[in-house]
Amino acid sequence: METKGKTKFLSVWHNVKYSWALKPKTSFSRNSPVLLLGKCYHFKAEEDEGQTEACREASDEEGVMGNVEDFRRDFGSRIWLTYREEFPPLPGSSLTSDCGWGCMLRAGQMMLAQALLLHFLGRDWTWSGAMSLQPLDTETWTTSAAKRLVASLESSLQASPGPSDPVVSQRQVAGSGEEAGVHTDGGFHRTLVSWFGDSPSAQFGLHRMVRLGLAMGKRAGEWYGPAVVAHILKKAVEEARDPCLAGISSYVSQDCTVYSADVIDSHKASASAPASASPDSRAVIILVPVRLGGEKTNPDYFNLAKSFLSLDYCIGIIGGKPKQACYFVGFQDDSLIYMDPHYCQSFVDVSTSDFPLQSFHCPSPKKMPFTKMDPSCTFGFYSRSAQDFERIKHELTELLQPSAKEKYPAFIFVQGHGRDYDLSASLSPEKREWPFIRDPRRSGSTVGDFVLL
């Protein structure tokens, strides 16, 4: 009984903590370009005709020049997935919220969502409601959080859950009304978001991720590292049942090595594909778990991360800073731009035809110095075809060439299949592909693990 009460109190505390953990507005320089998943934006005033060399180079490489409004529209169109509460219990547990522990899973979901946006809608797609997103309001969030805290504690003191009214945040109520005029984006954007709903039936929802994690010894309520999440995403894509998803697969590198023949095989159409499908008709999400240093990220890798985030086929980086996971989508100067999953929002039933979309799009980006970046992370890339992969492999190999200071590249490409080089056939597939996945039987943790807040 005491344990139950403690669990409930921690759950309530996390819900409140992440409902009002709002930060000051993010500041951007007008003198430096901003890179967002392969697109370049400059915030200089219109009368300033000068532009930096970095942005000019990005423009020459098919990056997109733009102003503040264009950046806001682009950033606001990315899918934002955060902590939620009051959803159906997760597999193998009684948890109905992921506050305080699910941030890496949410970051992985956001990376996968970006890959699907690229696959189905293209990099130039933007959501018509992006410009109507409102900044997160501290008073609204703290008020609703306090009400939830009081109600939950009262229920606990009564020693019985008791009936409770469903919680709907004020922000979501407002969002529903604001969206009345922006539902003309077409149904597919809404369908894509619904795949990430917090219900057992959602293709890439938290319930599916947790169920797949159970096979790796990870349970709901535990922390997940970026390498583990990469394997969970791969399995989720492999098991996806929606016919729309038959044209996409996923590949996770092995020991910081991308085996080209394995990626080419992943591009080949599955047995269930239509007879008219071309032999390499499937797109591939390439996930590369890496460790960029020891206790801290080696500064020599900062420029590499910048180079990757400047590519239009990069789908971002899942990682974070010590104790917090996030989804990196861009940079300006020496700061990473990221989407933060550490906000607790109310459950949204995505099975309805007109569920509100506002809470799935982030109104404000966050920035973090590269020096605070945790060395354990996973890079993501999207390859549309086998021919596309050959180009990607060539470009990334050029970028991965070690500088004079670096001894080793972050990862490498080699010809052939992984099994051709396999010296550890007795290991499980997960351990063979990535040696830093934590053995659930070990009580200790590795330097690459993320701890709970």
Catalytic residues: 103, 340, 342
CA 189 to chain centroid, in Å, comes to 17
CA distance 332 to 364: 15
Using DSSP, state whether 324 is helix, strand or coil.
Answer: strand
Largest CA distance in the chain: 68
Distance of CA 88 to CAs 96, 201, 221, 343, Å? 6, 11, 15, 19
Reported for 178-186, long-range contacts at CB under 8 A and 24+ positions apart, including other chains, are: 178/129, 178/132, 178/134, 178/358, 179/129, 179/132, 179/356, 179/357, 179/358, 182/127, 182/128, 182/129, 182/132, 182/357, 183/354, 184/128, 185/127, 185/128, 185/129
Backbone angles phi, psi at 41, to 5 degrees: -130, 145
H-helix or E-strand spanning residue 16: helix 2-20
> What is the number of other CB atoms lying within 10 angstroms of the CB of residue 113?
23
> What is the per-residue DSSP string for 335-360?
EEEEE-----EE---TTSTT---GGG
Residues 6+ apart with CB under 8 A from 347: 84, 85, 86, 87, 198
